[in-house]
Chain A
């Protein structure tokens, strides 16, 4: 077995036990990148030199008998909207194509303290706005399972990289499904933690009340390891929650006897692909056979999540993206005759169409005359959706729904009508609206051999239950073991 195909837990253990060196791991992964990256285009930037320098230092410390952390020597890819000190952070936008942060995001600091090695930054939809990574201004990332198809988005580069073994694990961000949906399209595990569990400091803001950082991995156990590393209160992020530190690896138990799994049948009856539906039903049966109790639940307002999302997320985006004015950093237009023209030209040249569309929609719903009808109403419906979930969790421990209504689609298939692309997020968006944790685990394949995701959702800050159900499902189905041929 090649080193590049190992999981985080395997690599960390082998390095710790001196079975392999950190350099050997990096050699294996970078060699793999050399062979595969050309076809997949998952990376925006590779950080080979820094990675090897860091590997030498970590190996020295290890050889001196030091503990180098639970991810000691493990390579990781980082979505390009997470700030990395001295490494370009572009958000796959022309606006930030030359932006080099002078500080690390808190999650990066935490990863480095745990011994991880950053091997590159991954492609994404510009400013994390999109569901296919086609909105990247830099390159087109392909789905390793079929190079004619999209990897999903917005963390498409991270998902594709993990899927074809050019990164053992990656970080992504999830505002409306941007970790779980590409994980589902690429047959990897994608975890969106509870809002507030992971610091957003140094993460380029899209919609601040919804954004959350999380891992994309080859196994649920690896997701637990990464969550152990990145979770925790951060005084630099006032919305990070002050809750006691937990060891999520304790949830890695093959046991769901007596767990109550909620199924919102009505919510998932419309517009779902036949193959996805079939896989989902089979998966529910598997859970039942493993001793879980399947309980029918109602999520009456979940179907209003998408319009609510596109009001709240764009409103927050229009405000967050106001900072890109061509003055302090980012793209500045060359020709202008006044300050106002500098703003307008810099923004018009720097942003792509989808980003402009969302800024415009957000400005619209916040403008006087429409604020009450859209934004305020959206916030109220958000309350109704949260209450829906609260009621559901009185009856069950974890909710199971498909991650997406369809599997990966072909390039260009959904780009002409933005609304059609938005509908792909129908099953992931409610989770962000309610701030809950959700995980997508490989859950089967459609008739074309494209991956299908199985999504689990739990109460806020109940990642333990979530991971335990996800782990048991993974262990007893093994869909995550199947790899694409690239």
Chain B
């Protein structure tokens, strides 16, 4: 396996995901296979090649800093799993 079970566990933590023992095993196998597949690129000579982030020749895109109407607060809050007093409610984070 090119990716270890411990690594998968660590990546899961970074990804904010949780897996059962069986799932961990399956993901270790799947990720190893995919990483092996991605290793095909390792043999290519990319010395001096510039990386491409996307194909358009644009850097920063600026626009005038004008005030415009935004979306309505109550509309936005309709999709919140929990809301009160015009705010999204979340569990207490500071004791």
Q: Which residue of B lies closest to A358 (CB)?
A: B34
Instruction: Determine whether B82 belongs to the interface, using a CB cutoff of 8 Å to chain A.
Output: yes
Contact B16 A434 (CB under 8 A): no
Take A360-B11, A434-B55 as given contacts and tell me if A307 and B40 are in contact as well, using a CB distance cutoff of 8 Å.
yes
The smallest beta-carbon distance between A314 and chain B, in angstroms, is 9
Contact B78 A100 (CB under 8 A): yes
Instruction: Determine whether A228 belongs to the interface, using a CB cutoff of 8 Å to chain B.
Output: no
Instruction: Determine whether A338 belongs to the interface, using a CB cutoff of 8 Å to chain B.
Output: yes
Those of B41-89 within 8 Å (CB) of chain A: 41-42, 44, 46, 49-56, 58, 61, 63, 71-72, 75-76, 78-82, 88
Contact B40 A386 (CB under 8 A): no
Q: Interface size class for chain A?
A: 35 or more
Instruction: Determine whether A374 belongs to the interface, using a CB cutoff of 8 Å to chain B.
Output: yes
A83 to B50, CA, bound (A): 35
Chain B residues with CB under 8 Å of A295's CB are: none
The smallest beta-carbon distance between A95 and chain B, in angstroms, is 11
Q: B-facing mask of A358-388, CB < 8 A → 1, else 0?
A: 0111011101000001101111111110100
Chain B residues with CB under 8 Å of A196's CB are: 55-56
Contact A327 B42 (CB under 8 A): no
The smallest beta-carbon distance between A227 and chain B, in angstroms, is 18
Q: Name which of A129-137, A234-242, A269-277 contacts chain B.
A: A234-242
Chain A residues with CB under 8 Å of B7's CB are: 364
A99 to B58, CA, bound (A): 33
Take A365-B38, A381-B41 as given contacts and tell me if A348 and B17 are in contact as well, using a CB distance cutoff of 8 Å.
yes
The smallest beta-carbon distance between B93 and chain A, in angstroms, is 5
A361 to B38, CA, bound (A): 10
Chain A residues with CB under 8 Å of B46's CB are: 377, 380-381, 384
Chain A residues with CB under 8 Å of B50's CB are: 380, 383
Of the candidates B16, B40, B56, B93, the one whose C-beta lies within 8 Å of that of A239 is B56
A343 to B39, CA, bound (A): 32
Those of A307-332 within 8 Å (CB) of chain B: 307-308, 310-311, 318, 325-332
Chain A contact residues: helix, strand, loop or mixed: helix
A348 to B18, CA, bound (A): 6
Instruction: Determine whether A342 belongs to the interface, using a CB cutoff of 8 Å to chain B.
Output: yes
Chain B residues with CB under 8 Å of A414's CB are: none
A347 to B18, CA, bound (A): 9
Instruction: Determine whether A345 belongs to the interface, using a CB cutoff of 8 Å to chain B.
Output: yes
Of the candidates B14, B31, B82, B93, the one whose C-beta lies within 8 Å of that of A361 is B31
Chain A residues with CB under 8 Å of B53's CB are: 209, 379
The smallest beta-carbon distance between B23 and chain A, in angstroms, is 8
The total of Cβ contacts below 8 Å across the A-B interface reads 158
Contact A382 B51 (CB under 8 A): yes
Instruction: Determine whether B22 belongs to the interface, using a CB cutoff of 8 Å to chain A.
Output: no
The smallest beta-carbon distance between B3 and chain A, in angstroms, is 7
A348 to B33, CA, bound (A): 22
Contact A328 B49 (CB under 8 A): no
Instruction: Determine whether A195 belongs to the interface, using a CB cutoff of 8 Å to chain B.
Output: yes
Contact B81 A329 (CB under 8 A): yes
Of the candidates A311, A356, A364, A379, the one whose C-beta lies within 8 Å of that of B3 is A364
Contact B72 A360 (CB under 8 A): no
Chain A residues with CB under 8 Å of B72's CB are: 102
Chain B residues with CB under 8 Å of A209's CB are: 53-55
Contact B15 A377 (CB under 8 A): no
The smallest beta-carbon distance between A129 and chain B, in angstroms, is 13
Instruction: Determine whether A267 belongs to the interface, using a CB cutoff of 8 Å to chain B.
Output: no
Q: Which residue of A lies closest to B3 (CB)?
A: A364
Contact A360 B78 (CB under 8 A): no
Instruction: Determine whether A460 belongs to the interface, using a CB cutoff of 8 Å to chain B.
Output: yes
Chain B residues with CB under 8 Å of A351's CB are: 17
Instruction: Determine whether A419 belongs to the interface, using a CB cutoff of 8 Å to chain B.
Output: yes
Contact A374 B55 (CB under 8 A): no
Chain B residues with CB under 8 Å of A339's CB are: 90-91, 93
Chain A residues with CB under 8 Å of B55's CB are: 195-196, 209, 386, 434-435, 460
Contact A328 B79 (CB under 8 A): yes
Instruction: Determine whether A418 belongs to the interface, using a CB cutoff of 8 Å to chain B.
Output: yes
Instruction: Determine whether B30 belongs to the interface, using a CB cutoff of 8 Å to chain A.
Output: yes
Contact A380 B51 (CB under 8 A): yes
Of the candidates B16, B30, B75, B82, the one whose C-beta lies within 8 Å of that of A332 is B82
Instruction: Determine whether B12 belongs to the interface, using a CB cutoff of 8 Å to chain A.
Output: yes
Take A364-B11, A435-B56 as given contacts and tell me if A378 and B41 are in contact as well, using a CB distance cutoff of 8 Å.
yes
Instruction: Determine whether A357 belongs to the interface, using a CB cutoff of 8 Å to chain B.
Output: yes
Contact B11 A363 (CB under 8 A): yes
The smallest beta-carbon distance between A483 and chain B, in angstroms, is 37
Chain B residues with CB under 8 Å of A435's CB are: 54-56
Contact A304 B44 (CB under 8 A): yes
Take A238-B61, A347-B17 as given contacts and tell me if A379 and B44 are in contact as well, using a CB distance cutoff of 8 Å.
no
8 A-B pairs within 8 Å (CB atoms) are namely A102-B76, A208-B54, A304-B41, A308-B41, A347-B17, A364-B11, A379-B52, A384-B46
Chain B residues packing against A (C-beta within 8 Å) = 3, 7-8, 11-12, 14-19, 27, 30-31, 33-35, 37-42, 44, 46, 49-56, 58, 61, 63, 71-72, 75-76, 78-82, 88, 90-91, 93
Query: Which 3 A-B pairs have CB atoms at the shortest separation, nearest pair first?
Result: A435-B55, A379-B51, A332-B81
